[in-house]
A = this chain, B = another copy of it.
């Protein structure tokens, strides 16, 4: 049996369970005698190009298990734009370090890198199997039903919206605008609706990037709700665009090719204050939306371990240029199966919320979405208690 090393590389923004997939991959790879060492690229593709590796197979099991509760990427990650020469260099690095299997854990961009490295290795005559592990906060990866990382981000936004709603209802003097992750796809924003499943209260309005934002209608709805209930809770995607298709927030600065925009939540809160004269505040959990271990969904974590293990198994079985996907098994009880998807089918394609998951008025979700999303967030959210006047 030809022996070699297996390398795991993380790409793009981390999630609450990317390290769980790492745990699954390392654990599976260690079972295979043809694997000499399981290496981690420290610092993503940039780290791989610098040959910055760590030996994950040498880590004792009790330390390795900490991966299941460590947010962010324990081996680092990167967002470097890669050119053809970088893929050629990576192929040579695999040859040099006897790396025969590469697992790329990432989103759409990383699946693109996965496909390109696969081709570069073929072109250079280096015998490397490249398999993708899906990872997302936004849930915008195509073909797969969902991908690890989303369930925890969804649980986070549902849990935080539930707690904030409870606060706003108990001191109903303002409009609270919560900003959710997902610039182009509204899956995370939409998941705030699951705050309603507990006894805690949920959001009043949900604004998704899949629908153009109408400022006039927004102010009318918020004003009506405020007069009726006092406290109002709005959840908005960080990437809302107006009727003209442009971001509703002004660009604040240009650095190189990147444009920086202000915060959507602050913008909407300011609109409410200035145009309605109603007290408003913004809540922008920001990075916590993808890094919260307190709101890690155990279902998401278990599925992350599963796809990590499956990716290692697939690569070691000789699969190449594929990503592990998840689909729901038939039947009334939620259960997933893995399957392999050619990376060309997922590369750089952004999956958005379908129409049947968005309410007709465009500022809420449908029951179909709630049913689809519920199993992904794991165990039910905490139950709260509220008292009404009884005497």
Contacts and interface: CB of A to CB of B under 8 A. Distances in A.
Interface of A: 13-14, 19, 39-40, 42, 44, 47, 51-56, 59, 63-64, 66-67, 69-79, 159-160, 163-164, 166-173, 176, 178, 252-253, 255, 258, 260, 262-263, 265-266, 270, 273-274, 277-288, 290-295, 382-391
B253 A270 contact: yes
Contact of A384 (B40, B66, B294, B385): B66
Given A258-B279, A283-B284, A291-B164, A171 B54 contact: no
A293 B164 CA distance: 11
Nearest to A281: B286
A291 B51 CA distance: 45
23 contacts: A14-B167, A19-B385, A42-B388, A54-B388, A55-B391, A59-B387, A69-B384, A70-B166, A71-B163, A72-B163, A74-B170, A74-B387, A76-B171, A163-B288, A163-B292, A164-B287, A252-B274, A260-B273, A260-B280, A263-B263, A263-B284, A282-B286, A284-B286
A391 B42 CA distance: 10
Nearest to A256: B277
A55 B286 CA distance: 40
A386 B14 CA distance: 13
Which of A59, A263, A382 gathers the greatest number of chain B CB atoms within 10 Å?
A263
A362 to B, nearest CB: 25
B71 A173 contact: no
A308 to B, nearest CB: 16
A71 to B, nearest CB: 5
Given A164-B287, A383-B66, A389-B52, A173 B282 contact: no
A232 to B, nearest CB: 13
A163 B293 contact: yes
B76 A385 contact: no
A288 B71 contact: no
CB-CB nearest 10 A-B residue pairs: A283-B286, A294-B294, A66-B385, A72-B170, A52-B389, A72-B167, A73-B170, A72-B166, A70-B384, A53-B391
Contacts of A159: 294
Contacts of A76: 169-172, 387
A311 to B, nearest CB: 19
Nearest to A64: B385
A391 B39 contact: yes
A383 B386 CA distance: 34
Which of A73, A75, A171, A290 gathers the greatest number of chain B CB atoms within 10 Å?
A171
A168 to B, nearest CB: 7
Contacts of A281: 286-287
A227 to B, nearest CB: 16
Contacts of A388: 42, 54
A284 B284 contact: yes
B287 A387 contact: no
A169 B39 CA distance: 20
Contacts of A263: 263, 266, 282, 284
Given A54-B387, A252-B270, 19 more contacts: A39-B391, A42-B389, A53-B391, A69-B382, A70-B384, A71-B163, A72-B163, A76-B387, A159-B294, A160-B288, A164-B288, A178-B286, A253-B270, A260-B273, A260-B280, A281-B287, A283-B288, A284-B285, A294-B294
